[in-house]
Amino acid sequence: MKNKINNLLKEVEAFSAENPEQLEAFRIKFLSKKGLVPALFVDFKTVAPEDRREMGQLINTLKQAVQNKIVNLKDKLDEQPVSQSSGFDLSLPASSPLGTRHPLAIVRNEIIDIFSRIGFTVSEGPEIEDDFHNFTALNFPKEHPARDMQDTFFIEKDPDLALRTHTSSVQVRVMEKTQPPIRTISPGRVFRNEAISARAHCIFHQVEGLYVDEEVSFTDLKQTLFYFARELFGEHTKIRFRPSYFPFTEPSAEMDVSCNICGGKGCNICKYTGWVEILGCGMVDPNVLEACHIDNKKYTGFAFGMGIERITMLKYQVNDLRLFFENDLRFLKQFESAR
């Protein structure tokens, strides 16, 4: 073993490296987990007790010699001028493609911009929400199916907490802390226990709006949404309202726009009707105002909520919602020119 170590010491002393690759190979040969020095420490167990002191010192001397050789050669290589023989100018900045905004972020910002022009501010809130803000304050009865596990992701350790199913919970928090007039929109991510398909996902994004003041009417709601739809989709977009039901608004409606993916002829996105529902809306139920300590005899209001994914599908004629979550660069690069 002594002769082996002495031979390795001679090899270390004679070694020289012309490039970093050779130096790294030298390091791996001697100091890696399966290198020569660790192997000597393993063999050290078989050395006779009376020889262990001498052998231990020799192994440590070898290890120190290897480390010193690596440091010295690395300093010499770092001092060498960069070779230009490759034909590349290494002083040039690296060329890397610029990133782009995600299509959902593009449309989200456009929606915010449209509503900010008519006085709406942006409000945000927590994604993990308690029962009061997510359901009770919004006039959801205890037996409402939205409280069921089929629709809601509850927090296992605390049944009072859940991943929010809509950003209406943000509106409740705004009304608790602010007296009318209130004019706000609440963009954000929401979660529902739904099957993933071309038209639905368990994670999606919403923008919900709220306007509370004296003498607010359904006419104000319709005019606000007419303005929004035509600003986003163009002046020739057809719009219709249909009666509907939501626990937190009365009366309630759903708003459809003409499907620009199929031009009204029918496709899987519009369910072959030529129309796509983009939002729900209605007058804020007096019970909701009362739960938020707002005088429902003095104030009225309207609320609306829309899914950003569906609007983005219409705007950019995307026929499968799942594309927004797959991070496929071939898909995302199509939005490089979008703002």
Residue type for position 2 = K
Q: What digits encode the pLDDT tens for the residues 230-257? A: 999 888 888 999 999 999 999 999 999 8
**pLDDT for 152 beyond 80:** yes
Residue 289 and residue 304: Cα distance in Å, rounded?
A: 15
Helix (H) or strand (E) holding 104, with range, is helix 103-116
Domain-embedded: residue 264? yes
Range of the structural domain that residue 15 is part of = 2-77
Q: Are residues 180 and 240 in the same domain?
A: yes
Domain-embedded: residue 129? yes
128-130 and 158-163 beta bridge pairing: antiparallel
> How many helices (H) and strands (E) are present in the chain, helices listed first?
11, 10
Helix (H, G, I), strand (E, B) or coil at 334: helix
What is residue 87's predicted lDDT score, i.e. its pLDDT?
64
Domain-embedded: residue 231? yes
Residue type for position 313 = M
Residue 324 and residue 107: Cα distance in Å, rounded?
A: 12
Q: Are residues 254 and 292 in the same domain?
A: yes
Give the sign of the dihedral formed by CA 188, CA 194, CA 196, CA 200: negative
**pLDDT for 326 beyond 90:** no
- H helices of 209-319, in order, are 218-233, 286-291, 308-316
Structure token pair of residue 104: 């959902």
Scored b (16 or more CB within 10 A) or e, 117-147 reads eeebeebebeeebbbebbbebbbbeeeeebb
Residue type for position 83 = S
Q: Are residues 177 and 299 in the same domain?
A: yes
What is residue 128's predicted lDDT score, i.e. its pLDDT?
93
Listed residues 60, 77, 94: the one ending a domain? 77
**pLDDT for 176 beyond 90:** yes
86 pLDDT band, cuts 50/70/90, is low
Q: Which of 174, 256, 182, 178 is nearest to 216 (CA)?
A: 182
**Mean pLDDT of the region 108-131:** 94
Across 99-103, 177-181, 199-203, the highest mean pLDDT is recorded for 177-181
Dihedrals phi, psi of 102, to nearest 5 degrees: -70, 145
Total count of domains within the chain: 2
Q: Tokens 């929109």 appear where? A: 185
CATH code, domain with 208: 3.30.930.10
